[in-house]
Amino acid sequence: MEPLRAVIVDDEELARGYLRELLREHTEIRIAAECANGFEAVKAIGESPPDLLFLDVQMPKLDGFEVLELIDPGPAVIFTTAYDQYAIRAFDAHAADYLLKPFDAERFERALERAKTRLGERRPPADLGAARPPGQRPERIVVKDGTRVHVIPLDKLDYAEAQDDYVALHSGGKQYLKQQPIASLEATLDPARFVRIHRSAIVNLERVARIEPYGKESRLAILTDGARLPVSRAGYARLLEAMGDSQGNRNSTR
């Protein structure tokens, strides 16, 4: 039987060394890669998908949840972190276990057994956006393009358009395709900043220059860069409400 392939992802060398030592007793597991940040992890996992993934949460460049967004589902994931506030989100993302540092060998063994059991189960892919706690909004979107990873800060996102099972993210005159339903993207965004103006379009409120009539009952949103987006009747109502709330918030701070 071929050994299980494991990838260790942690920005601390001591933490990687501790996991390496704990795994030394398990001849059925081979460490395929050790990664010090999220970019390295996405590259290593893409080149050679592992069975087991030991994943830190807070890391430079990409955090652990962003790594999971960018890789194909498959490995049994054990989060290893010093922060307990991510536990619920980790299990919502179908993690096999959540090891809170510092953990001992006995706790590690229990987590490893759970991960091995998980490998024999079939689970639906997690919606990592939905796994985010209510009220906690991302400040960036990560997109994998072949071997490259693009990080788009939300204040640089102009608008998003649905394209079947993908969304086309428009930022600074460039387009990035991400495999994610537009409804799932909408659920992660701050409704005070981003408005669903059409079943196929979400716009950054700050990029709307004006609204123009188009046809009998249709409208177009004209953005500051000249882009023209369709506005449905329901989308127009949401847009007016959001613009009113935004104006009210600005007035209240004066």
Structure confidence at residue 89 (pLDDT): 87
- What are the pLDDT digits (tens) for 119-141? 877 555 555 554 555 456 778 99
Cα–Cα distances in Å, from 190 out to 78, 120, 140, 157, 205?
30, 38, 12, 12, 11
Q: Pairing between strand 140-145 and 148-153? A: antiparallel
Q: What domains, with CATH codes, occur in the chain?
A: 4-119 (3.40.50.2300), 140-252 (2.40.50.1020)
Q: Average pLDDT, stretch 111-124?
A: 83
Eight-state DSSP code of residue 82: S
Structure confidence at residue 245 (pLDDT): 62
pTM score, whole prediction? 0.76
Structure confidence at residue 73 (pLDDT): 86
Confidence of residue 254 (pLDDT cuts 50, 70, 90): very low
Structure confidence at residue 145 (pLDDT): 85
Confidence of residue 251 (pLDDT cuts 50, 70, 90): very low
